[in-house]
Amino acid sequence: MTNKTLLHTVVKAADDKRAEDILVLNMQGISMIADYFVICHGNSDKQVQAIAREIKEKVDELQMPVKRIEGFDEAKWILVDLGDVVVHVFHREERSYYKLERLWGDAPIENVLSELTNDL
């Protein structure tokens, strides 16, 4: 399985649960943590948890390892570590506060959602 396949699975799962403002940062050559960061948000604790749960379920279906999930119970910022892909599912207010997009502003943005739409 390629990182792109995993990335597409994650973005589709987030989109299926109506995650907002899904952003994919290409971290290759910028960070040793992961090749891609996926950043999105939900508007309630339940939606944030539903997005993270859907991502985990879809990755499990691919029989790919989920290294860890942090912050699920609090549902303000859930981190889903998939190795080369790290997903940040925020509550709307937390995303505005932490602004990860700005922190990693030098990372190129991947337009995965439009790739998925074109594949359909």
The domain limits of the chain are 3-113
Assess whether pLDDT exceeds 50 at residue 100. Answer: yes
Assess whether pLDDT exceeds 70 at residue 3. Answer: yes
Q: What is the pLDDT of residues 11-62, one digit of tens each?
A: 999 999 999 999 999 999 998 899 999 999 999 999 999 999 999 999 999 9
Residue 96 · residue 68 · CB < 8 Å: no
Assess whether pLDDT exceeds 90 at residue 116. Answer: no
What's residue 119's pLDDT? 56
Give the CATH number of domain 3-113: 3.30.460.10
What is the C-alpha to C-alpha distance for residues 25 and 109, in angstroms, rounded to an integer?
5
Q: What is the pLDDT of residues 75-95, one digit of tens each?
A: 999 999 999 999 999 999 999
Q: How confident is the model at residue 120 (pLDDT cuts 50, 70, 90)?
A: very low
Evaluate if pTM is beyond 0.85.
yes
